[in-house]
Each structure stands twice: as C-alpha cells, then as structure tokens.
Amino acid sequence: MMLSAMTTTPVAARSATYREVFAVGEFRVLFGSYTLFLIGETVRMLALSVIVYAATGSPLMSALAYAAGFLPYALGGTLLLAFADRWPPRTVMIGYEVLRTAVSVVLAAGLLPVPAMLALVFVTGVPSAVASASRTALLPDLLDGDRYVLGRAVFSMAAGGTQVLGFAAGGMLIAAVGAPGALWITAATCLASAGLLQLRLSHHPRRRTGASAGISETWQVNRALLRRPAVRALLLAQWLAPALMVGAEGVLVAYAAQVGAPDAAGLLFAAVAAGMFAGNLIVGRLVGPAGRERLARPLALALGLPLLGFVLRPAPGYAAILLAVSGFGVAYQLGLARRFLDAVPETQRGQAFGLLLTGTMTLQGLAAAAGGALGEVAAPALVVTLAGAASAVAALMSWRTLSPTP
C-alpha cells in the first residue's frame, strides 16, 4: 500500500509457507489474541441475544442485540480511525480488551435493563474499528513479503472457522452454564487476550503524531486516501463484489423454508464460511504470489456466478455446494493484499486498513439487510440469484483493478 515509505515486494517473490508464518513468535501471539477475541465475541453476541429474547420475548429485540456488536463499527470507522496510527498498537488492543472485559462483567451480572444493555454494547463497540485496524496494520511489521499475504489468509481462516464452529460451541456452552455464565467466560477470554498481548507482544511505536483532533484527522485522512485513484480502486474491488454476494445471506433462512427444509439454514450458512476457509487455505498455500494475482479475476467472478444456480431452486445439499464455491471465491482478495499494502504511506497504514474493514462491514451489513427486505416481496431463490448477478457485475466493473500488475 505504500507510495513512499515502504519497499514494494516483487510479484514474483518466493512463495512462503504457513510454517514460516507461524515460526514468527509475535505473529503467534497476535493470532492467539485474535482467536480469543473471536471466541469471546461470538459467545457474547449469542448469549446477549438469548438474554434479551428471554427478557422481552421479541425476535426484533433479540436481532438488535445480535447486531449491536456490528453496527458501531461504521461509526468508529468514520470518527476514530486516526488513533490506529497515533497510538501504539499494543496499547490500543489491550485497552479494548480491558473495555470488553468490563462490558462482559456488567452484562453477566444482570445489572441493567435490556435497553441499557443494548446501549452499552453499542457505545463500547465504537472503538472496535480502531482495535481491528491496529491489529491488521501490525501484520506487515511482523511478516515480510509473501509471509504477510499468508498471515492475512490465516486471519481470514480464523474468522471463517469461528463462523463454522463458534455458534455451535456457543450454543452448547449456553446450554451447559446458561447465558450469564457464558458471558463470564467471555470476560475470561478478554482478560486472557489482554494478558497475552501484555506479556508476549513487543512494543511497536505509533506511526505518526497529530496536532488536530482525532475525529477531524480521521475525516481528513479518509478523504485523502479515497482521493488516490489506486487506493480507491483497490478499496472498491475489495468492497463491492463480496458485499453484494452477502446480500444472498439475508434470505438463506427463508430459502431453506421455501424448499421445505427449514432446519437446513445452518448448513447453508456454514457452507459459505467453509468455502471461505478452504479458499484461503488452498490458494494461500498452493498458489504462488504471481499466480494469486492471475487468479483474482476468475475468483472474484466465482463469488457471484455460482449463485445464479439458485434460479433452479436447488435442494439444500446442492445449494450448499453452490454457496461453498461462492465462499471459496473470497480468496481473490489474496491477490490484492500485497498491492493494497504498497498503495498507501506507512504513516497511514492503520487508518487505511481500518477504512477497508469499515467499508467491508458496513456494506455487507447493508447488503444483507437489503436482501432481507427484498425477500419480503420476492421469492428467496430469486433474491439469491439477483445477489449473485450483482456481485458478478461488480467484479466485472473492477476487472482492470483485478488484473495482475505488470
């Protein structure tokens, strides 16, 4: 991503291996902390949804409890991202884990009514964008060359694996110890993550200082990044096609009911996550750096094209295969990872990654909501098909950006 301060990694650089990535001690620490974060966050969202539904009997309130962990991301990404570069990354990550610990303890203790619980989760979730940006921007400091690309793949696989396994494990945990008990366990994972970072991660200095307020600087740097044609094109190439594909997920529950297998909804969601996991693993391990860039175009198209098969209303097993192939296509982003790293100045790296993550989560949330809204007036199979077509069109619109660098 850099224009000036970083050395560009050659496209034809030697392929790295996952063994080499995990041989870096500080990466293992960062990955361990991230895994604890994912586990705790998955359990917290599920447990909070159960508590809210038990208290209100309202599916809408339960859904809001689940979404409360995601909605603040857009707010934090537009107001606070400058702090991802102005504060040392270890300080940011540990501070956020301590905040999450306190929130989990308050929720587990049952001290607040439901509206106050939702407000607390929303407000304290705003800094999540800064913590995520700090974590992602630290990767290039720990991993060089192709190891950095594989490190990004490992993080993506961890997120996908959590989606496949996390909700099942969270459900069993809640059944065993109850929702408040699960929240106490979430607090323990937060403390463990903070302790791991404090004891095993070295201090890394902040990337820049700032005299202006963090909010105004966030807006200024975001605008500056978006004004760069190369950065803007890479952001859109990583935002649009996956977000439009996610629009299909907004109606998967309804689709399963439409084909007479309502219990298969979990299978359909798991198929997407499993495909993402497999794509990052296989493309990251078996394809070299130059090959990943050459595969970016067909893999980006693979996000949407398989979903066109839903026009035939396939049975759940076949639908799961189509969704898994679609999820596999997310690996196209590995072909853009090095180029995005080289496209922005090092002093703005944290905010650039934060902008990428903020746009990703915001657009995917909006697309899922739009898919659900469209499902109110159209058959779920048609909505999935339209989402696939829109994703494919978005990939074609970014065709030049997705082409390999000379």
Closest CA to 217 of 82, 84, 359: 82
The predicted-structure confidence for 7-30, as pLDDT tens digits, reads as follows 333 444 578 899 999 999 999 999
DSSP string for 234-297: HHHHHHHHHHHHHGGGGGHHHHHHHTT-GGGHHHHHHHHHHHHHHHHHHHHHHS-HHHHHHHHH
Determine the length of the chain: 406
Q: Tokens for 387? A: 């989402």
Element (H, E) at 207: none
Please give the CATH number for the structural domain made up of 227-405. 1.20.1250.20
Average pLDDT score over residue span 51-78 = 73
Report the C-alpha gap between 261 and 259 in whole angstroms. Answer: 6
Domain pair 23-202 / 227-405, same fold: yes
Instruction: Give the CATH H-level superfamily of domain 23-202.
Output: MFS general substrate transporter like domains (1.20.1250.20)
- Cβ atoms of residues 392 and 310 within 8 Å: no
**Span 313-357, pLDDT tens digits:** 999 999 999 999 999 999 999 999 999 999 998 889 999 999 998
Which stretch of 47-61, 142-156, 213-227 has the lowest confidence by average pLDDT? 47-61
Query: For 73-90, how does the pLDDT look when each residue is reduced to its tens digit (9 = 90+)?
Result: 888 888 889 899 999 999
Q: Where are the domains of the chain?
A: 23-202, 227-405
Residue 299 CA to residue 403 CA, distance in Å, equals: 12
| Nearest CA among 139, 115, 70, 141 for reference residue 358 | 70
Give residue 110's region: left, alpha or beta (phi > 0; psi -120 to 50).
Answer: left
pLDDT digits (tens, 9 = 90+) for 150-176: 999 999 888 877 766 766 677 778 888
